[in-house]
């Protein structure tokens, strides 16, 4: 049975604070380590009232310091926002603090709109177009120093933190394959090109020092609860978040609302159906059926589960149910 991992955005809920969100993220890392998850990743987003993981390296430290065995990392760092040497130093430091437990997933989006990109970078020269070159530069900075090398990442040099390429289109698949790196696809919110990207990655993969064969991790939403009805209610918070974002009005994560879907236009409903295509919603039996079908269809090597649920206890319970379902699937395999 393939491993399951966790993708956390440290959600800031309506009526809550960033401090509470980060405390919940830390607790979720502790609990999911206990449940047997392989990785705990946090994602870089900016100018989002409902997401507290913008300073991603600090959030990783917050989770890693509270755990002992689970791998902790970025899913991901939006590399065009940063000089590669800064990320090499940050993740070299994390690797020094938590040896053998740090992952570094890299994306090329800004983690916000173009105004956010401008605020982060001051100039958009290069940007996403330089992403492949920036990945190579970062990879070199995290590797062993070359003779007479002038610019060195300290900490970072020789850390060899495992790199991943993230993507929501075929671009990331092509780059990951060319560099021989593992590939994580954002099917939990942008599933449209998932199968095409996975096929491109697997068929064009070139082995590297880090990886000798293709390795695909796919994003998948989990809204697991004792009943189908409760699972559907929990999922309404994420639906509200996506709808608000599409309307240009991002806000804190809202409480579940059983009446929310009735307010959607036909176009909004179609968009949400597409966004939620890679999701398991409902009782343990329903979640098991959805997970089994998704794994069978995609041949994923690993799943990274996102559970954007308003109530922290319900979110922890969703991950616990998913872990129990995985154990059942492994026992029957």
Number of neighbouring beta carbons within 10 Å of residue 58: 13
* pTM summary value: 0.95
List of domains in the chain: 4-332 (3.20.20.30)
**If residue 317 lies in a helix (H) or strand (E), which one and from where to where?**
helix 312-332
CB 231 within 8 A of CB 258: no
d(CA 99, CA 284): 36
Residue 129 confidence (pLDDT)? 79
**10 Å Cβ neighbour count for 68?**
9
Where do the DSSP E strands lie in the chain?
4-8, 39-42, 71-78, 102-107, 163-167, 183-185, 216-224, 279-282, 302-306
pLDDT score for 111:
73
Say which residues have a Cβ less than 8 Å from residue 266's Cβ, sequence separation at least 6: none
51 pairs with which residues across the strands?
A: 11
Task: Locate 115 and state its tokens.
Answer: 């105004």
3-state secondary structure of 236: helix
Structure tokens of 40? 């705990």
Residue 166's DSSP bridge partners are 184
Distance (Å, rounded) from C-alpha 10 to C-alpha 18?
8
d(C-alpha 51, C-alpha 49), whole Å: 6
Place of tokens 């449209």: 192
CA distance 279 to 182: 22
Q: Please tell me the predicted confidence (pLDDT) of residue 281.
A: 97
pLDDT in tens, the chain (333 residues): 999 999 999 999 999 999 999 999 999 999 999 999 999 999 999 999 999 999 999 999 999 999 999 999 999 999 999 999 999 999 999 999 999 999 999 999 877 777 777 777 666 556 677 899 999 999 999 999 888 889 999 999 999 899 999 999 999 999 999 999 999 999 999 999 999 999 999 999 999 999 999 999 999 999 999 999 999 999 999 999 999 988 888 999 999 999 998 888 888 899 999 989 999 999 999 999 999 999 999 999 999 999 999 999 999 999 999 999 999 999 998
Q: Report H helices in 143-265.
A: 170-179, 194-204, 228-246
Q: How far apart are the first and last CA of the chain?
A: 7
Quote the CA–CA distance of 178 and 185 in Å, as a whole number. Answer: 16
How are beta strands 39-42 and 163-167 bridged, if at all?
Answer: unpaired
**Per-residue confidence (pLDDT) for residue 115, from 0 to 100:** 78
């Amino acid at each position: 049975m393939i491993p399951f991992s966790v993708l956390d955005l440290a959600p800031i809920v309506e009526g809550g604070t960033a401090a509470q969100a980060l405390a919940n993220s830390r607790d979720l890392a502790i609990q999911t380590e206990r449940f047997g998850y392989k990785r705990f990743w946090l994602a870089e987003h900016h100018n989002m009232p409902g997401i507290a993981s913008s300073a991603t390296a600090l959030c990783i430290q917050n989770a890693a310091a509270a755990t002992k065995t689970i791998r902790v990392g970025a899913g991901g760092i939006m590399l065009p926002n940063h000089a590669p040497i800064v990320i090499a130093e940050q993740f070299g430091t994390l690797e020094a603090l938590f040896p053998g437990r740090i992952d570094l997933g890299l994306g090329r989006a800004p983690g916000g709109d173009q105004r956010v990109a401008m605020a982060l970078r001051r100039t958009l020269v290069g940007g996403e177009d330089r992403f492949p070159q920036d990945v190579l530069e970062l990879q070199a900075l995290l590797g062993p120093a070359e003779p007479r090398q002038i610019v060195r990442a300290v900490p970072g040099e020789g850390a060899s933190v495992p790199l991943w390429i993230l993507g929501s289109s075929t671009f990331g698949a092509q780059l990951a394959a060319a560099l021989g790196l593992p590939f994580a696809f954002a099917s939990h919110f942008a599933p449209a090109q998932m199968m095409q990207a996975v096929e491109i990655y697997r068929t064009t993969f070139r082995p590297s020092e880090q990886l000798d064969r293709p390795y695909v991790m796919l994003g998948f939403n989990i809204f697991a609860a004792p009943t189908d009805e409760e699972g559907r209610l929990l999922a309404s918070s994420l639906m509200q978040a996506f709808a608000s974002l599409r309307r240009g009005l991002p806000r804190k994560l809202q409480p579940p609302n059983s009446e929310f879907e009735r307010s959607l236009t036909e176009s909004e409903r179609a968009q949400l159906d597409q966004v939620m295509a890679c999701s398991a919603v409902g009782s343990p039996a329903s979640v098991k059926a959805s997970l089994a079908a998704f794994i069978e269809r995609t041949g994923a090597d690993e799943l990274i589960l996102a559970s954007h649920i308003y109530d922290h206890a319900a979110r922890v319970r969703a991950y616990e149910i998913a872990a129990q379902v995985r154990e059942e699937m492994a026992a029957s395999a």
